[in-house]
Amino acid sequence: MHPLAERIKREFPDGFVDAVEWRGDLAVTVRPAALHAVAMFLRHDPEIDCDYMVHVSSVDWPDDEERFEVVWEVASIRKRHRIRLKTRVPESDCLVDSLTDVWHGANFMEREVYDMMGIRFRNHPDLRRILMPDDYTEGYPLRKDFPLQGKGWRDTFEFLNEKA
Amino acid sequence: MNDTEKTYRFEDQRDTIYKVNPEHPETATLPLQRTEELLLNMGPQHPSTHGVLKVILELEGERLVKSTPVLGYLHRGVEKLAEDGTYHQFIPHTDRLDYVCAMYNNFAYCRAVEKLMNITVPERAEYLRTIVAEVQRIIGHQFWLGTQALDIGAMTVFFYTFRDREILLDWFDELCGARLTTSWYRIGGVERDLTPSLIAKLRAFLDYFPPKIDEYQVFLEKNRIWLARTKGVAVISAEDALSFGLSGPTLRGSGVDYDMRKHNGGYAAYPNCDFNVPVGKNGDTYDRYWIRVMELYESVKIVKQCLDQMQDGPIMANVPSVTLPPKDRVFTNLDSMIQQFKLFSQGFDAPPGEIYCGTEAHKGELGFYIVSTGGGKPYRMKIRSPSFIHMGAFDHMSRGYMIADAVTIFGTYDIVMGECDR
């Protein structure tokens, strides 16, 4: 196992789920309850020192019991390593801790995840839609059950109706 | 209510109560002195927002108290579209992300897919990729310099940079048939080789260009307005810049020496080239300007070295299950035609797994996070676009500056809304 993953496993034996290393990328999955503590550890531990927020993303696995996967990729500029931190949440309770207080950049990126996948973030300072319109109520576009052509948004434009 | 103290209630949203001094009752009829924050919508159609972007500015006098960017006017659902096409079919979509610098988007995407498929690109293709990517970086920085100076009010620079940019856009036109939406990179290599005419034109440009960079600087470095509008504006500390995830010149302006072309061994032909990464000190708009100008010189150096070092060889990796056959064989050879047809209609079978691959585009780290479950289409593709992430720091960087500085702060990120909203 990668030494960083081993370190996380040793510090958080209950929160650690698994670690995968593929094509040189390290991905560590943790339980949602331990997420914030693991993030604080990655940020403040002098040996790991992940000071750089790379991106926040999410993946939808509709067939799984824990449907959504939220991904934070963080890096250390000084120590030159990257870690992908992941957690899984079920659809009935898709709420995870926000990491905005650990890395400022998570603010906008988590808003995007909320907008696109409908995952809510606990203690997020400003959880609103960011790319879709504020009053958009037809769901979350990047979920797998959302059709590629959208849900009727086009029909609300009058000129399109006239042609049809 | 106290009789000696008249209170007036203004019917505005904030429901503020203003008190009138009883010794000067005339002020009661002229309730001019009131302090409240003013909300101002800037955009969505504003010439300096580089696309369609609205920012709600909360003002105290002319000072920015808080600013809230409203994004999404150019959202086209590129990430959703990616899930419905094969890996090869997505390359033209990447052109439309950052439409000013399409080549680098192609490059970043192809690199990500090559990492997923574990393909090694032949050496000549790596050199070609580096040359064209650096030419694209020159175009990007020229475009940035011209528009940033225009936003601040220095119009002349715009004409000079765009004059030189035209030369390179025409060069792209000859290279791949398009000036902006290029789609020249392919998974595993590049679409076509440089012709002798293209190499001669590029060498001529490399001799012509460095004196022109000096010329741009003459317009700005001693211009008092330019200095007043850029020095000490939009300062961000190195720690905050990292925490916000800023990248590229915006991060290096704060003194962080982080460039993916050098970091972790670099990529493409960069490890074989000798170049410097300029790093700023103060983290203000002027330092970011200086870094971009210095990068123009460095790009010229890199392209020259690549042209000198480049050897003959194949320009496409030979992995028939993934990479495209040479175009001339497609029209003459049945097998190659079938290969081309199958790759574009069904795609190639990617192994299940997930990768993230970042590339140093001229704006910052452009990354692709691809999740594959096998099959010809990506299961999920996330684009880490530097413009979007830089907008996240806009509120932090603009607080306390004047309204007019908001314009220079968009500019200092080198923002393109097509990439920001995806």
The enclosing domain of A92 has a CATH number of 3.30.460.80
- What pLDDT shows up at residue B11? 43
Quote the strand ranges of B128-221, DSSP E: 185-186, 189-190
Whether residues B239 and A22 touch (CB distance < 8 A) is answered with no
pLDDT tier, A154 (very low <50, low <70, confident <90, very high otherwise): low
pLDDT: is B17 or B364 the higher one? Answer: B364
pLDDT: is B49 or B67 the higher one? Answer: B67
- What pLDDT shows up at residue A163? 53
Give the nearest partner residue to A105 out of B77, B244, B382, using CB atoms.
B244
Q: Domain segments of chain B: what residues?
A: 1-36, 69-421
Domain B69-421 has CATH 1.10.645.10: yes
What is the mean predicted confidence (pLDDT) over B33-45?
75
pLDDT tier, B370 (very low <50, low <70, confident <90, very high otherwise): very high
Tell me if chain B has a CB within 8 Å of the CB of A51: yes
pLDDT tier, B67 (very low <50, low <70, confident <90, very high otherwise): confident
The amino acid at residue B12 is D
- What pLDDT shows up at residue B2? 47
pLDDT tier, B303 (very low <50, low <70, confident <90, very high otherwise): very high
Q: Which residue from A minimizes the CA distance to B259?
A: A77
Q: What is the pLDDT of residues B339-348, one digit of tens each?
A: 888 888 888 8
Q: Name the residue range of residue A35's domain.
A: 3-163
Q: Which residue from B minimizes the CA distance to A146?
A: B80
Q: Which residues in chain B have their CB less than 8 angstroms from residue A77's CB?
A: 242, 256, 258
- What pLDDT shows up at residue B8? 44
Whether residues B245 and A23 touch (CB distance < 8 A) is answered with no
Instruction: State how many domains chain A has.
Output: 1
Q: Which residue from A minimizes the CA distance to B69?
A: A130
pLDDT: is A3 or B299 the higher one? Answer: B299
B163, pLDDT greater than 70:
yes
B19-23, B146-150, B164-168, B403-407, range with the lowest pLDDT = B19-23
Give the nearest partner residue to B245 out of A53, A57, A133, using CB atoms.
A53
The amino acid at residue A27 is A
Give the nearest partner residue to B77 out of A51, A105, A141, using CB atoms.
A141
Q: How far is A19 from chain B (nearest CA, A)?
A: 13
Whether residues B392 and A130 touch (CB distance < 8 A) is answered with no
Q: Measured in Å, how far apart are chain B's first and last C-alpha atoms?
A: 56
d(CA A51, CA A42) in angstroms, rounded, equals 8
Give the nearest partner residue to B388 out of A25, A59, A108, using CB atoms.
A108
Q: Which residues in chain A have their CB less than 8 angstroms from residue B393's CB?
A: 104-105
Distances (CA, A) of B103 to B110, B122, B182, B302, B415: 11, 19, 6, 17, 17
pLDDT tier, B171 (very low <50, low <70, confident <90, very high otherwise): very high
Q: Which residues pair with B371 in a beta bridge?
A: B354, B380
pLDDT tier, B411 (very low <50, low <70, confident <90, very high otherwise): confident
Q: A23, A79, A116: best mutation site toward chain B, by most B Cβ within 10 Å? A: A23
Q: How far is B391 from chain A (nearest CA, A)?
A: 8
Query: Residue B95 in contact with residue B106, Cβ under 8 Å?
Result: yes
B32-41, B260-269, B390-399, range with the lowest pLDDT = B32-41
B9, pLDDT greater than 60:
no
What is the mean predicted confidence (pLDDT) over B331-342?
88
Q: How many Cβ contacts (< 8 angstroms) between chains A and B?
A: 100
Whether residues A23 and B118 touch (CB distance < 8 A) is answered with yes
* Percentage of residues in chain A having pLDDT higher than 70: 91
Whether residues A59 and B371 touch (CB distance < 8 A) is answered with yes
- What pLDDT shows up at residue A140? 87
Q: Which residue from A minimizes the CA distance to B364?
A: A54
ipTM: 0.88
Give the nearest partner residue to A105 out of B263, B354, B389, using CB atoms.
B389
- What pLDDT shows up at residue B317? 87
- What pLDDT shows up at residue B133? 92
d(CA A108, CA A35) in angstroms, rounded, equals 19
Q: What is the pLDDT of residues B254-289, one digit of tens each?
A: 888 888 888 877 888 888 888 888 998 888 889 999
A29, pLDDT greater than 70:
yes
Quote the strand ranges of B262-410, DSSP E: 353-360, 365-372, 380-384
- What pLDDT shows up at residue B139? 92
Whether residues B81 and A148 touch (CB distance < 8 A) is answered with yes
Tell me if chain B has a CB within 8 Å of the CB of A130: yes
Helix ranges (H only) for B314-374 are: 327-330, 334-345
Q: Which residues in chain B have their CB less than 8 angstroms from residue A141's CB?
A: 77, 80
Give the nearest partner residue to A80 out of B263, B369, B389, using CB atoms.
B263
Q: Which residue from A minimizes the CA distance to B373?
A: A61
d(CA A39, CA B422) in angstroms, rounded, equals 28
B126, pLDDT greater than 50:
yes
3-state secondary structure B81-120: HHCCCCCHHHHHHHHCCCCCCHHHHHHHHHHHHHHHHCCC
- What pLDDT shows up at residue B282? 86
Q: Which is nearest to B344 in space by CA: B318, B359, B358, B325?
A: B325
Q: What is the pLDDT of residues B87-108, one digit of tens each?
A: 888 999 998 888 888 898 999 9
